[in-house]
Amino acid sequence: MKETETKMTMTAEIDAAFLPDLSSDYPLAPEKIDNYRRDGHVKLERIATKEEVSAYRPLLADALMRYNPETRPFEQRDTYGKAFLKTENLFERNEACRKFVLARRFAKIAADLMGVDAVRIYHDQAIFKEAGGGRTPWHQDNFYWPLGTENTVTMWMPLVDCPPEMGSMTFATGSHKDGLFASVKISDESDAFFLRHIEERGYPLTNAGFVGAGDVTFHSGWCLHSAPGNESDQTREVMTIIYYADGTRVVDPEETGFGWDKHSFLPGCKPGDLAVSDRNPLVYHRGQ
């Protein structure tokens, strides 16, 4: 088994040398930046070409399936488990995944949207919603991240064309301006809690609609979001990358009400420390 995995990793590293370069600038229109800051989310088209996505897709999908820990039959999973298969930190798995996740093009967009000079990776996730997979409950990402900043953003990119019936993203527009609502983990309970909150506050709901392979949505860490179930007969293959402003410090979850997953994504960091570890590479710095 180890010999097979070594050979597969070597193949991915060899392939990486021939993969498309993703360092060029994306022409981000100023109104898209305004929309992101006003709404807490924005949709951008073709930040990666069909050819670029096609080159990386099989290598990212292979890493997800090879390292995914889920072994339960679908019918035995809870709501979260039925929502998608998830594998984290693909950038550590092989050079091909690393080249995609640490791409300068994506990181510069994140920095421009947030209006910061430099960004680091918090972590990446391959999120594959199987055919017939359930809805993703309403939740806030930033609840899980012990980061003392408002400047966090998630890039959500389908590796295949994603029509609405596959489960494209839905956002509570403007909800990012209200920060942490409650310390609620993603679940049936969070779905019901946040849906009541959305109705009470009157946030408009915005579905991303058709999101083609290589298109993306970016959303703020505080923006409430969910996704419908996958009603198609194909898997919704998505890569996500989470960015935060360089210079951010780690906060104490007992004082903030945040979740605490620092052991996975900020190893060795304590409250008050700069949020910097081997798992948080600097991926963009303006002027460098």
Per-residue pLDDT of the chain (288 residues; tens, 9 = 90+): 444 444 444 455 556 788 999 999 999 999 999 999 999 999 999 999 999 999 999 999 999 888 877 667 666 676 665 666 889 999 999 999 999 999 999 999 999 999 999 999 999 999 999 888 888 999 999 988 999 999 999 999 999 999 999 999 999 999 999 988 878 888 888 889 999 999 999 999 999 999 999 999 999 999 999 999 999 999 999 999 999 999 999 998 776 667 666 567 898 899 999 999 999 999 999 987
pTM: 0.90
What per-residue confidence (pLDDT) applies to 71? 66
DSSP 61-110: HHHHHHH----S-GGGS-HHHHH-EEEE-GGGT-HHHHHHHT-HHHHHHH
Q: What CATH number labels 29-285?
A: 2.60.120.620
Q: Where are the domains of the chain?
A: 29-285
List pLDDT tens digits, range 222-255: 999 999 999 999 999 999 999 999 999 999 877 6
- Residue-wise pLDDT for 26-44, tens only, equals 999 999 999 999 999 999 9
Say how far apart CA 222 and CA 30 lie, in whole Å.
Answer: 22
Helix (H) or strand (E) holding 191: helix 188-201
The reported pLDDT for the residue numbered 4 is 44
Letter string b/e over residues 56-89, b meaning 16 or more CB atoms within 10 A of that residue's CB: bbebbbbbbeeeeeeeeeeeeeebbebbbbbbbb
Give me the residue label for tokens 């009470």: 200
